[in-house]
Structure 1
């Protein structure tokens, strides 16, 4: 994709994620690193120009050619290694290779808090300057520097990071233009001397990182159609996992608004139990068991620390339960649309669907013999505490999956998820031969089912439909998940009438709203991308495959050049909004591709 290289008037979600499951970064269409946090995804964004209005003099790392005119970007096949070609008006050009090292070394996974960039002259006699200006304190201060012969130290808080390079240090410090006559290697990472030959070590790193990702992709079970699209989403989802603990963040960013000037700006750099459930479910379908295994370890720690089985909607990637919400006063926000939030007050909300989303992925560990650690009786005893909370809370008001901040109701989706928790615990009890527990959990699941069928049903002429809550008859897109959760079958007339009502009320052409009623911030202004994928799934179940495929192709066309989607989309202009890349949306691509693809048997 060719783009003009002058600094943009405003930020864009045309971004390319890189990472290694410890640290991540977002590269913009100029090849600039505009978002990156240390020492992990929820840390201080030392690269933050994405969230600082039209300021591009601070909080980013870019290579700028003299006379720049265009850029071309693409990932190396089946990797998150990004190649950006910068071209100047005189025909000269350089190629930038961006990656975060990830490979096995000394019996462990080497994934340092580091970004690596290799600049190679590929045409003419390019002249370039390096602009590297990290900040600290969420944009409050420019990082102070000290330097040696071949390195620069940047003080970015209580710790420093070190740039080791074979480029001229003085030119980097002063952002002076110089001729690029040979490959230039840049390793920005831990504040320690770089051991070995920089050029040789960095080249070995990129080769080993390339090998790791190609082998990881090789183990995926992908559909025949849309293979590249599924692979790209799978890699991005894996980059959203903090491997140290197994937590999966909802997105790599904070505070990209759901709609312009809406103040629907949230910090998504945390592990939502709900979002993570959808992520591991999608990756499990294509065989990425390593992500599931690490996440199950994270869940076991969450369950162990839960007070009486009570689960929060979200936790930090380290498992911290308190995520107090503040604002970063020194960052202007995406396109100047603040506030930039740090932390998320949703952690103290009551959201009862999380009990089902704890139980459902954990249940697999009792049945799947591929896993290195299968679950046992002790795990079942711990999981039953979560089930007890699901039973206790299934008919109690909560904020719901859309996290309403000013009202509570008994949400149908939450009740169905509590039913799923009890239903799946009954399955595990049967597998373990625990007849008394099987009877208990089956009876509870049936009691919840009967209450949902009675309390959530809305009489509407001859057909009727399920409503979004027990107290009111409004609709939301989560009702389309009742088949996925096995609460209803696709041919159940109640699902068919509910689907018809949801589609009529919430569909806006090629997009789907979460709901169309006013919430804490007024009427929704954008469509929620995962809901459109739920619509595609429902169309497929209704036998409307041609329409489902057409809508799926339309959604794919809305992706960025990197193959990503954010959380929301303007249903009039098609512009992407919301945090990026959003795991929900990438999950939708993987799931729909699997549903709609022709079988592999057609080419065998």
Structure 2
């Protein structure tokens, strides 16, 4: 699939730092299959956990402007800037123009010859394009959210920074005059047209530190670009919004933990959903729901290696847990620890800063439908499941027949258990898929029972979760409120009739604000609009035959990404500012689903 994204948008008009923080729209993400770094529009790396995405961050200015730490690189003079990803990659390029010259900075988390490197390698290559330019750089590790005190050390091989059990080496500054403090190292680089320079960070944890030759690191940038382009070329989509679809696929890829196949929900923790604070969560975990949605999209793209790896991870995790799977896990496939607060101020002082997540142990009935949907589509692609997995799926179908009667926390992971409509629809979808798999000979079990319970669930929903007054499916049984997640089940096939069409109208009227959609009734007072819900609306409109409306809405939503095509969890309709963790996998998944649905339906 070719990347036909629009040209890079100028970033010099983004607001300057305010008390050390920048707007969340400022961030671009790069990754290496193990972790993700966030780079602000002013060239500062403000988020970089090491060695893994869920490790404490060595650079965390994003959440603590005073003690979080950063890796800065910027022109010494007043300048303008534009940036974009190299097409088909997660390698970022920023072009700076001053009164004396023009340079291009290429930021890459380098990969190895056969995949992820055994150490971290963050490369920043500066190419002189015109004239001469002087740039300042500074490596200032943070306290890993108030866990350690960093220490800078000058050695014969390279400057070192020791941050607890993490060691950083600064490569590419040999022969320059360096400035040391007890915690930082900094310097100045002068670049002329036709020349290039390098500043790179090598990192290890509990291991010796290699000091690669700078030319090897520069070769690593080219190798990484080739790796990303090769991966992108395996995706097959030539419909409208192809650039945005590919960028979303690359965003999901950057959230994928290459060692296990797990897919993180987002790259960050504790970015606020509510501008007044309180709704801050850690999303550096793998949710079954998000993994299933990701695989659903990648399977439809024809991707094979990534799909097999992620399906295998998901099934291994569920096999360990049995027919009552947890809704999420660590990136290594373990059960997460309970959440706790960290002593840090949070982005722009909006706390709390959280590590861990409270949803462990929740009953979320929708997970059964997510799991079966993913397996069903995987098998449609010509794949075969093994017998232990087939038996597990039959056990989960049996479990669904029993558990659908219960109240649960719902897709939004709420503390009040209710009979949420979309959860019941998820159970219907699980049994619909189970019956289809049994009829195809893929699994064995009590298919007659699954069929009976599937039909019983549908009748229960129609009797208890439909409002004649509102002409809409409601949020939960007996209520008169609305929930945008019901729209997912236009895609699942639960309902594509006039009832779903009038539900769409009701959701747009009550939960919509321009093209954006809030999650459920009352959220306008508490948080931003949920990006995924807005793209679910596009797909639902297409599913019920309202193509023109779906296309108009898609055209309004796509430009709401930031200048490099990334989305956070939420966007505030008032001024389109980002809220919540980023880049958010579910937002990008929903964009891909909307685009795929539009092209498949017409």
- CA shift, 1:137, in A, is 3.1
Partner-residue secondary structure (3-state), 2:232: helix
What does the per-residue CA deviation read over 1:225-269, in whole Å, with 9 as the maximum and x for residues that have no partner? 212111111111111111111111111111111131132111111
1:330-349 alignment, distance < 5 Å: 331-349=344-362
Q: Determine the C-alpha separation between the residues in 2 that align with 1:422 and 1:168.
A: 67
In the alignment, does 2:262 pair up with 1:257? no
Q: Quick one: distance in 2 between partners of 1:319 and 1:436?
A: 28
Q: Give the aligned partner of residue 175 of structure 1.
A: 186
Aligned residue in 2 for 1:425: 434
Q: How does 1:362-381 map to 2 (within 5 A)?
A: 362-369=375-382, 371=383, 374-381=384-391
Question: Quick check: 2:394–2:443 contact (8 Å CA) kept in 1?
Answer: no
- Whether the aligned pair in 2 keeps the contact of 1:103 and 1:212 (CA below 8 Å) is no
1-structure distance, mates of 2:46, 2:72: 9
Could you list the structure 1 runs, at least 4 aligned residues long, displaced by more than 6 angstroms after superposition.
Answer: none
Matched, 1:43 2:55: yes
Out of 517, 525, 541, the position equivalent to 2:522 is: 517
Contact map agreement 1:280 1:292 (CA 8 A) in 2? yes
| Equivalences for residues 98-109 of structure 1 within 5 A | 98-105=107-114, 109=116
Task: Check the 8 A contact 2:171/2:214 in 1, yes or no.
Answer: no
- Residues 334-359 of structure 1 deviation map (CA, whole Å, 9 limit, x = unaligned): 11211111111012322121122222
TM-score normalised to structure 2 length? 0.90
Distance of 1:193 and 1:345 partners within structure 2: 36
- Which sections of structure 2, spanning at least 5 residues, go unmatched? 1-9
Task: Give deviations 1:539-596, integer Å, cap 9, x for gaps.
Answer: 3334443332222122111110110111111122221211111111111222222334
* 1:168-225 deviation line (CA, Å, top 9, x unaligned): 47516442435346522424233545466x2321222112111111111111111332
TM-score w.r.t. length of structure 1? 0.90
Q: Show CA shifts across 1:268-327 (max 9, x none).
A: 111111122222212222222333212111112221221x42122211111121331112
Aligned residues: 581
Tell me the residue number matched to 1:28: 40
1:411 correspondence with 2:420: yes
State the distance in 1 between where 2:508 and 2:173 align.
Answer: 59
Contact 1:129–1:171 (8 Å) recurs in 2:
no
SS across alignment from 2:62: helix
Asked if residue 161 in structure 1 is aligned to residue 183 in structure 2, the reply is no
Matched, 1:355 2:368: yes
- Which residue in 1 is equivalent to 2:456? 447
Three-state SS of the structure 2 residue aligned to 1:387 is: helix
| Segment of structure 1 superposing worse, 578-587 or 285-294 | 285-294
**Residue 31 of structure 1: how far off its partner (Å):** 1.5
Give the alignment of 1:3-18 within 5 angstroms.
3=12, 8-9=17-18, 10-13=21-24, 14-18=26-30
Match of 2:340 among 309, 326, 331: 326
Q: Conserved in 1, the CA contact under 8 Å of 2:265 and 2:290?
A: yes
**Residue of structure 1 in register with 2:140 after alignment:** 133
2:30–2:38 contact (8 Å) kept in structure 1: yes
Matched, 1:300 2:315: yes
Query: Residues of 1 paired with 2:419 and 2:231: CA distance?
Result: 42
Aligned equivalent of 1:396: 406
1:592 to 587, 591, 594: 594
> Structure 2: how far apart are the matches of 1:74 and 1:582?
19
SS in 2 for 1:51: coil
Confirm or deny: 8 A CA contact 1:426 1:442 kept in the other structure. Answer: yes
Q: Distance in 2 between matches of 1:284 and 1:111?
A: 29
Change (3 A) 1:51 1:552: same
CA-to-aligned-CA distance 1:378-413 (integer Å, 9 cap, x gap): 2111122322332222121111111112x1101111
Q: Which residue of 1 aligns with 2:87?
A: 77
Give the 3 Å change call, closer, same or farther, for CA 599–203 of structure 1 in structure 2.
farther
Give SS of 2:419's match. coil
> Distance between the aligned counterparts of 1:403 and 1:596, measured in 2?
29
| CA gap 1:359/1:448 in 2 versus in 1, 3 angstroms | same
Q: Distance in 2 between matches of 1:169 and 1:115?
A: 20
Q: Matched residues in 2 for 1:540 and 1:524: separation?
A: 30
How many Å separate the matches in 2 of 1:396 and 1:170? 68
Q: How does 1:474-553 map to 2 (within 5 A)?
A: 474-488=481-495, 490=496, 492-517=497-522, 523-553=525-555
State the SS of the aligned residue for 2:440. helix
Q: Deviations over 1:120-169 (max 9, x none)?
A: 33333322322101124324444223332332332223342333334447
CA distance in 2, matches of 1:365, 1:598: 18
* Structure 1 match to 2:260: 245
Of stretches 230-239 and 501-510 in structure 1, the one that deviates more from structure 2 is: 501-510
Match of 1:458 in 2: 467
1:68 aligns with 2:75: no
CA distance in structure 1 between the partners assigned to 2:375 and 2:533 by the alignment: 25
Alpha-carbon distance in 2 for matches of 1:480, 1:302: 28
Instruction: Label 1:486 to 1:112 Cα distance change in 2 as closer, same or farther (>3 A).
Output: farther
Q: CA RMSD in A?
A: 2.5
Query: Given the superposition, is the C-alpha separation of residues 422 and 157 from structure 1 closer, same or farther in structure 2, using an over 3 Å criterion?
Result: farther
For the Cα contact (< 8 Å) 2:136–2:188, is it kept in 1?
yes
